[in-house]
Structure 1
Amino acid sequence: MADFIAGALGGACGVMVGYPLDTVKVRIQTQRNYKGIWHCIYTTYKVESVSGFFKGMSMPISTVSVSSSIVFGVYRNFLYQWCKLRYGKTNIKPSKCDIFLSGYAAGAVQALVSSPADMAKVRLQTQIFGPCSVAAGPKYTGPINCLVTIVREKGFLGLYKGCSVLIFRDCNSFATYFLSYAVFREWFVAAEQSSSEFLGVLLSGGSAGVVAWSIATPMDVIKSRLQVDGVTQQKYRGVLHCITESVRQEGITVLFKGLSLNCLRAFPVNMVVFLTYEIILKQIKPFTS
């Protein structure tokens, strides 16, 4: 229970830190009218002002708390049960394989729960409407309206469009995420014996986030494109068609669109996530054990 609570608070703090860059990342991945990161930032601010960077944040700020709670809670509980099953006891240091498998399980469960909210987030982020926009008006007035509209147009399963890609992305990225955090923390603590644990958590969390997003970015691009597909017209028949058409039209580098931005965003966000998680866990664990 302590891990679920600490994970929820860590996720909420992470969203607030990284959401503006996440909006820029999604727009670069799904729209071809930007020349680069700075052009996207400039255009978004010019057309929609500061509020354009925070479109759809009300949904993630609540749902990411839930999904982050699920990730950390499932990870820790799966690891606990796995070690108990494999070794017959839980008070041992888990192997790297144990950590990887637990992260993989956490990613799968999280993706299934968060898919509808992620769909609403991406569609709201790519909806351009502001004082300088020529659009007649926004299609979606908010996260709930977005979800209701998708269900009305595509049915309930429309909320899970791109979910298979999301699962593939999250399973691999969270497995890498928790494994790299464990490895980096061992390195940083061993290398900096005189420094506080605080610094080790910051560096380990930030580095783990960068590694995880480096693995996740190709599938993140495809996932985002599938989620916005059909807002105005249908372009892709499925996952493989989306991959082949994207590569054919824009080259293999299209799969790494937003990689630098993902890594830039991942470091401070995951520094905050793991720091908050570790602090909260220490404070509440005595009351939940």
Structure 2
Amino acid sequence: MGDVLEPLAAAKDGHAVTAVKDIAYGSFAGMVGKFIEYPFDTVKVRLQTQSNFKGPLDCFTQGLRNDGITGLYRGIAPPLVGAAAENAGLFFSYTISQNVLRKLAYSNYDPNEKLPMPALLGCGAVSGAFCSLILTPIELIKCKMQVQAVSHESAATTAASARASATGYTPALGRAYTTATLQRPRYAGPIALISEVIKVHGISGMWHGQMGTFLRETGGSAVWFGSYEYVSLTFRQLGANAAGIPKEVNTAGEMMVAGACAGVCYNGVLFPADTIKSRMQTAAVGSVGHKQMGFWDTGVDIYRSAGVRGLYRGCGITVIRAAPASAVIFLVYETLKANF
């Protein structure tokens, strides 16, 4: 009996060690990637939620000139924690999903052999759905911190503010917001902002924009992992030996190229969902009883104000920053996993 149980115990121990490694390596890789991409993310959020910048370069130079380099990193604490939690959760749940799927549908597969691409896409979607619950409150605080220094002054804005005060309803930003100036940030830090959100909207207010995060992460994570696996496999096949057997390990450069492709694909899929989420999450906190716009209403409002282009505003710079960030994330994760 002991001989039978020993392999099972060893397998469980092996899964536990793998899980701990996924969490640790994913956390570290996510934090490194976040430092690289955060200034670009700040520009992206401002472009998604403000209509008065001419483009990414104009938004970047205005922010740098008026708010300094620290302004581009404002609010990084929550997303830094979020990046660690997100990537730890992504890699952890991705591995767990594959283990479960192997037992349920692919028990005849070699443990060292990759699952078919449709299965990997499904595992990626599951990992994204899981992580969306972790990310929404973190991104809510991040987005509000990123845009709190931008104020909009115009007659139309004043009128809109008056209507909002009278009705307790704040519309999404549209064409009425024509000029932008920088003001002193309202919140001293994320803790003060979290306190106000919970005070006004309750704990559920921290998950405002969950639908957008869920759609973005589910579809995005499927193609993130899927494209990385596909490009990595392609490189291994290109490096096959004379007998046609693919090489077993990718080089660091190949990992980075595959990671960069993954980042571009992730952000190119369902970008409008991220735009809607950002618009929802950067709306004013308001006062007790304040009505927040839902996902569908916010999307319709953006479309009516700026058309399809409004839903893709900031997509270019998002793709640009995603390539190096994802390249580094996968390189760090794979390197740590192979050597420790």
Q: Could you state the TM-score of these two structures normalised by the residue count of structure 2?
A: 0.78
Shift, 1:232, TM fit: 5.8
Shift, 1:61, TM fit: 1.4
The residue aligned with 1:153 is 200
The residue matched to 1:49 in structure 2 has which SS? helix
Deviations 1:135-171 (A, max 9, x none): 3x42221112111111011111110000111111100
One-letter code aligned to 1:109: F
Aligned residues: 282
Distance 2:120 2:80 in 1: 27
The residue aligned with 1:66 is 85
Deviations 1:47-104 (A, max 9, x none): 1111110011112112210121011100011111111211225614301111011111
The residue aligned with 1:115 is 136
Deviations 1:19-57 (A, max 9, x none): 000000000000112110111011101211111100111
The 1:142/1:192 distance shift into structure 2, 3 A limit, reads farther
Q: 2:318 aligns with which of 262, 278, 282?
A: 262
Q: 2:329 aligns with which of 273, 282, 287?
A: 273
The residue aligned with 1:217 is 271
CA contact (8 A) 2:275 2:312 kept: yes
Distance 1:207 1:118 in 2: 24
CA contact (8 A) 2:124 2:224 kept: yes
Question: Which has more helix, going by share of residues?
Answer: 1
Distance 1:241 1:192 in 2: 51
Structure number, greater radius of gyration = 2
Distance 1:196 1:252 in 2: 39
The residue matched to 1:55 in structure 2 has which SS? coil
Q: 1:78 aligns with which of 88, 97, 105?
A: 97
The 1:134/1:112 distance shift into structure 2, 3 A limit, reads closer
Q: Could you state the TM-score of these two structures normalised by the residue count of structure 1?
A: 0.91
One-letter code aligned to 2:101: W
CA contact (8 A) 1:15 1:64 kept: yes
Distance 1:27 1:99 in 2: 34
Q: 1:187 aligns with which of 234, 240, 243?
A: 234
Distance 2:327 2:61 in 1: 27
Shift, 1:196, TM fit: 6.1
The residue aligned with 1:200 is 254
The residue matched to 1:87 in structure 2 has which SS? coil
CA contact (8 A) 1:198 1:275 kept: yes
One-letter code aligned to 2:231: F
CA contact (8 A) 1:116 1:147 kept: no
Q: Spell out the pairing of 1:6-155 with structure 2 (5 A cutoff).
A: 6-89=25-108, 91=111, 92-128=113-149, 135=183, 137-155=184-202
The 1:196/1:240 distance shift into structure 2, 3 A limit, reads closer
Shift, 1:236, TM fit: 6.1
CA contact (8 A) 2:149 2:182 kept: no
Q: 1:249 aligns with which of 297, 305, 310?
A: 305
Distance 1:118 1:33 in 2: 23
One-letter code aligned to 1:227: Q
Distance 2:63 2:291 in 1: 25
Structure 2 spans left out of the alignment, 5+ residues: 1-18, 152-179, 241-246
CA contact (8 A) 2:200 2:286 kept: no
The 1:107/1:134 distance shift into structure 2, 3 A limit, reads closer
Q: 2:211 aligns with which of 164, 170, 179?
A: 164
CA contact (8 A) 1:189 1:200 kept: no
One-letter code aligned to 1:23: T
The 1:20/1:35 distance shift into structure 2, 3 A limit, reads same
Deviations 1:200-259 (A, max 9, x none): 101000011101100031111000001112346979631111111111110111111111
The residue matched to 1:251 in structure 2 has which SS? helix
CA contact (8 A) 1:221 1:256 kept: yes
Q: Identity rate of aligned residues, in percent?
A: 27
Structure 1 spans left out of the alignment, 5+ residues: 285-289
